Chain A
Amino acid sequence: MPKIGDLKVSAHRDTEILMTRTFSAPRRLVWYAWTKPELVRRWLLGPDGWSSALCEIDLRVGGKYRFVTRHEKGHEMGWGGVYREIAAPERLVSTEAFDQSWYPGGCVNTLVLTEQGGRTAMALTGRYDTREARDAALASPMESGVDASFARMEKVLAEIAANPARGA
């Protein structure tokens, strides 16, 4: 049986990133943690320093989800998509698009949960439009947070430029 807490990442086929990990909980609970907004917002945050600013899930085929996380220094990262396939508690297919994307095109995520002896094996596959996009996505998941802060700064600068007289 696979070890608990051992996240594996691999470049899969030509255009995919595959993440696998095992959780010490029945599949039903892992499914809840992936699909109930009040639970998702507590963990799907990336590294430390980020917290959830928005977490909305409309769990039906064609329904949308939208997540926004905020870093303690203020910058935000937002992403969302549409659910394409829902087979609780086993399989969830959804599209993904970041507000400030650092890879070209879109991504389709497929979550597959398999239960064995009270444990749950997760396989999460992200399929990108092209190999270049896949490599870019893999290259720097942190890039987006950084870019979000630049985008925010740009907006502030644009606002200042639009109102040059204020306070002067």
Chain B
Amino acid sequence: MSLSLALNPTLDATFAALADPTRRAILARLAAGEASVAELAEPFAMSQPAISKHLKVLERAGLVSRGRDATRRPRKLEAAPLAAANEWLENYRKYWEPAFQRLDSLLEELKAGEAKSRPARAAPRKPKRK
């Protein structure tokens, strides 16, 4: 099958942007409110141009926009792409969780089976001594 999915074109950019720890920290800072480039650079051991580079990636991904104040040019967080990315992750999680719940029950069964057979059998592995 060819890739027939109508992929959210921004999802790719969102995940790429989120792959970097500095960019995630910038987003975490912006979640607390708007900030200028200088303010954003402050907590990082990084130059303003380096921070600007990261901001450009975040802006391209639609995760960050520029505020109205022309002199400060504060950046602010755009939540929509993040919400979309989260939704995909959550769908994937929901798909897999029932299988792992089944695994939980199976493991309980295996543990119970082992507990039952342990006294009857010679220890197949090294004895537990702590």
Binding site for B on A (CB under 8 A): 4-5, 7-11, 13-14, 17, 19, 21, 23-26, 28-30, 32-33, 39, 42-48, 100-104, 131-132, 134-136, 138-143, 147, 151
Contacts and interface: CB of A to CB of B under 8 A. Distances in A.
Contacts of A17: 92
A58 to B, nearest CB: 22
Contact of A43 (B85, B92, B102): B102
A138 B107 contact: no
A26 B125 CA distance: 14
Contacts of B100: 5, 7, 21, 23, 43
Nearest to A134: B15
Interface in B89-108: 89-93, 95-108
Contact of A103 (B3, B98, B125): B3
Contacts of A134: 15
Given A45-B102, A141-B95, A11 B3 contact: no
B7 A136 contact: yes
A92 to B, nearest CB: 15
Given A45-B99, A131-B12, A138-B88, A23 B107 contact: yes
Nearest to A141: B95
Contacts of A8: 93
A42 B104 CA distance: 11
A7 B110 contact: no
B121 interface: no
Contacts of B96: 7, 9, 19, 46, 141
